[in-house]
Amino acid sequence: MRSVDLIHQPVLLKETLGYLAPSPGETFVDATVGAAGHARAIAGRLGDKGTLIGIDRDATWLPGARETLRDAGCRVRMVQGNFSDLKEILEQLNVSGIDGLLMDLGLSSMQLETGERGFSFSRDGPLDMRMDMETGHPASHYLQHLSEKSITSILQKYGEERFARRIARAIAQARKKQPIATTSDLVNVIMRAVPHRRWRIHPATRVFQALRIYVNRELERLENALKDVEDIMNPGARIAVISFHSLEDRIVKRTFREKKSAGVFEILTRKPVTASDEEKKLNPRSRSAKLRAARKT
């Protein structure tokens, strides 16, 4: 692994800061703190009376994030946890209301680039895909034990994969001979199952996305986190969510609209904000990013 691979560039940073508008003395939560790229910029605006709470379900990067925020200039609290438990996490920290919340969904570059985590079809490693290695089962477990029908529906629902049926059948056949234990095992099964043609994206892209979303229950966690999020937001507090695929963005859009109808939120982004051409060139991860922001009324 080259060290340059492990650099994570925060996506839509300027735009996110614009909507979140952190100011001195405020309390902010970065619920997906990762490498603390966004968090560092937010913390720098909170001043010595402000507080930044960083949360991530993946414990691996928290020490690095803590180090990055060491001279942030505000109070910093770091917690390993899931943003769907935000209310409980804040209760434990004795925080009754926050002024800003950021959720930058999906994976960091470091998670993707680390082969042992099994997130990337282009890196060989155990087929794990859990963001929190202490919870749940690795992806290989599900591929071994779920029915062919369930695998088909996971690939359709979370990957919108055209060849879901074929791929699920190939998985069911392959696992009879030998468990699908590594990312390469799975890539080989997929490559044998899908028709040969010119690919616009790698044939394993959607399958890996679908399994990751399923293994980490990503959509359920997002729905849970947003459900009553206004309860922990002070009046006037801002929320920004950056998503990387349409399934997530749909949840954010729908929830914000419901809260607007209920008179709880004012939506700050009429349309989702996307990266500039320049950012897309510099950071390929930003190409699919969509930012939505709202303010509690």
Ligand X SMILES: C[S@@+](CC[C@H](N)C(=O)[O-])C[C@H]1O[C@@H](n2cnc3c(N)ncnc32)[C@H](O)[C@@H]1O
- Per CB under 6 A, residues contacting ligand X are 8, 10, 31-32, 34-38, 55-58, 82-84, 104, 106-108, 131, 221
At residue 176, what is the residue type? K
Q: What length does the chain have?
A: 297
- Give the tokens for residue 134: 């202490």
In this structure, are strands 98-104 and 27-30 parallel, antiparallel, or unpaired? parallel
Which C-beta is closer to ligand X: that of 102 or that of 186? Answer: 102
CB of 98 to ligand X, least distance (A): 15
Which C-beta is closer to ligand X: that of 36 or that of 167? Answer: 36
CB of 115 to ligand X, least distance (A): 17
CB of 249 to ligand X, least distance (A): 14
Asked if 121 and 201 touch (Cβ cutoff 8 Å), the reply is: no
Which C-beta is closer to ligand X: that of 85 or that of 266? Answer: 85
Which C-beta is closer to ligand X: that of 82 or that of 120? Answer: 82
The span from the CA of 16 to the CA of 72, in Å, is 18
CB of 145 to ligand X, least distance (A): 24
Asked whether the CA dihedral 292, 288, 27, 232 is positive or negative, the reply is: positive
Alpha helices, DSSP H, located in the chain: 13-20, 37-43, 62-68, 86-92, 109-113, 139-145, 148-159, 164-177, 183-193, 205-215, 218-227, 246-261, 277-282
- Give the tokens for residue 72: 């942030």
Which C-beta is closer to ligand X: that of 60 or that of 182? Answer: 60
CB of 28 to ligand X, least distance (A): 13
